[in-house]
Chain A
């Protein structure tokens, strides 16, 4: 292209310190992805009976680590990196104070290290510590206190991160009075408000109940109450994973397709709808809970179904933006324009395949959300089939694809191999198609999730969809392909660190076809949305929580304590704590060191 474009500074040229932090966050994310993929392939081969090199007791340690590392660590570290990029880029101003930024990064890394160590310690009997409670940590199964403490430190880190972005936006607003909030910043702010509301519940659950209980300060907890608090947080957290992917689909994908966003106002409407609707629905994870009245479950379902709306709007807006690009590239016909798209670009193809899988995941999600049809699939492996399409592909594959586009702008190094990148995203799609299709089918046979050995002595599964064994094979092949795909992704990014620096890697984003001047001003009134969101949460949760507490009390009716860890002697505990602190410091150092590559 022209010389001026060549001279266009990249993000790292303009904001080197911010780029360093973003890289550090993303390295943290990729580390978690690597570990998660290793555990993923082990689980896949174990539960299908193809290879069981570890004991079935260890399966649950792997499963806990896979869940926590992937859906807490991988997704959220990527999110904070991406959001930092989005805020700084769209406001075109640096963060207020990067010391604060490094502080939240350090808190998140330290918290995740604590939680991670408490899980992985489950592999060795030498340390009296474990946390085989899976990522949902339902009481009265009890993890080591370090598990809960680490989660709190991590979450508080994300709170500081949100404050960092809010403060930067406020500073920008002072410098630019009367301007509309730039779209990407708007997306970050609405998502973070949702996150603040959601995490209040998990913070309460841990700080008031689980942590004191694991320390022996209170005797018992109410399992329905802590479960409900978990899902108060647990549904919005799925949108916390998804919103960064949506941001990329709205603001980056159209540009890669050669077009531009179709409608800025609708994008704002969608994010506001998510802020309002994503919390008052958590009870849909508890349709089969005995401690909650049917009426509340029905209300939760109606809210959930209306939450489809913003995703369906997104499908239209994003595809239309891509079509606009295809038409500008000379595409014609009702479907013929699809051929005019840049399918050789791994960032484009990755995001499009991710979106396609999300469309499929949307369907199995409708089944999950249907109050009574939930009986058919609840806690079967259908459910992991569903969320490997959503968070495991729509989110994860979009993040990987976006990395191919963003990484060069954060490092001034061109991607080592776009061809390998293209192969990688296609492999992910193929592997996931195999694995999730078979998981859905097995779920209909009644095969449970979260089970090391889903073959039972006393009965056989009905024969359908090819039968249990054949579906196991499909799962194993799919999982293996996914593992290979992850290795290719990580290798490509790591090798890129040695690519020679180049210039001309900037990729500016075009404004929307229908811009913000078209969006009603009220959309930017964040206070109003916070207020309505809180009212909806109170409406949805006040009565169910009151019901749970009046039925069986704040601390339950005397459930016991089932530690999956054995009490450590004080001396040992101290040694372990010291070791962890050292490990945490080393990790942070290592990551900051690597990120300056």
Chain B
């Protein structure tokens, strides 16, 4: 195994590809913008909000026998 994941020893290491599969070596490093991640996570956010509003305000609040005291 390579030594430490984050300590200094790894600086010279060539990025090993994901478990032996081909890789585009020139990929940008610093100014990587995770736009796909943003899109996915916004979708998740929308699902969460809609599902919560539905389950809380419709499913739960319209049920029988709400505890009021």
Contact = CB atoms under 8 A, between A and B. Distances in A.
Instruction: Give yes or no for direct A-B contact (beta carbon below 8 Å).
Output: yes
Nearest to B28: A327
A508 B23 contact: no
A329 interface: yes
A366 B48 contact: yes
B15 A363 contact: no
Nearest to A259: B18
B1 A89 contact: yes
- Name the residue among A328, A334, A409, A513 with the largest chain B CB count within 10 angstroms: A328
Given A319-B41, A323-B36, A359-B44, A258 B21 contact: yes
Nearest to B57: A373
A359 B21 CA distance: 28
Q: How large is the interface on B (under 10, 10 to 19, 20 to 34, 35 or more residues)?
A: 35 or more
Nearest to B64: A462
A288 to B, nearest CB: 10
Contacts of B34: 262, 316, 319-320, 323-324
A324 B1 contact: no
Contacts of A10: 1
Interface stretch (A335-343, A428-436, A484-492, A550-558): A335-343
B27 to A, nearest CB: 4
A510 B7 contact: no
Interface in B35-69: 35-37, 39-41, 44, 47-48, 51-52, 55-56, 59-60, 63, 67
Contacts of B1: 8-11, 14, 89, 92, 409, 506-509
Interface string A96-119: 000000000000000000000000
Contacts of B30: 513
B16 A5 contact: yes
A512 to B, nearest CB: 6
A264 interface: yes
Contacts of B22: 329
Nearest to B29: A513
Given A316-B37, A327-B32, A257 B18 contact: yes
Nearest to A332: B36
Contact of A329 (B18, B35, B44): B18
B17 to A, nearest CB: 6
A316 B29 CA distance: 18
B13 A315 contact: no
- Name the residue among B1, B47, B48 with the largest chain A CB count within 10 angstroms: B1
A255 B22 CA distance: 13
A90 to B, nearest CB: 5
Contacts of B40: 319, 335
Nearest to B21: A342
A323 B27 contact: no
B18 A256 contact: yes
Nearest to A1: B20
A106 B63 CA distance: 52
B3 A92 contact: yes
Interface string A357-383: 001001100110010110110000000
A345 B19 contact: yes
A224 interface: no
Contacts of B48: 362-363, 366
Contacts of A520: none
B60 to A, nearest CB: 5
Nearest to A347: B19
B59 A444 contact: yes
B54 to A, nearest CB: 11
Contact of A334 (B21, B28, B39, B59): B39
A325 interface: yes
Contacts of A375: 67
B7 A328 contact: no
Nearest to A507: B19
A200 to B, nearest CB: 31
A16 interface: no
Contact of B23 (A182, A319, A328, A376): A328
26 contacts: A14-B1, A89-B1, A92-B9, A182-B6, A183-B5, A257-B18, A258-B21, A259-B18, A262-B34, A264-B6, A324-B32, A326-B36, A327-B24, A327-B28, A327-B32, A329-B24, A337-B36, A367-B52, A375-B67, A376-B63, A444-B59, A508-B16, A509-B2, A510-B15, A513-B30, A515-B6
Given A11-B1, A179-B8, 7 more contacts: A1-B17, A1-B20, A258-B17, A258-B21, A342-B19, A348-B18, A376-B59
Interface of A: 1, 5, 8-11, 14, 89-92, 176, 179-180, 182-184, 251, 255-260, 262, 264, 315-316, 319-320, 323-330, 333-335, 337-338, 342, 345, 347-348, 359, 362-363, 366-367, 370, 372-373, 375-376, 405, 409, 444, 506-513, 515-516
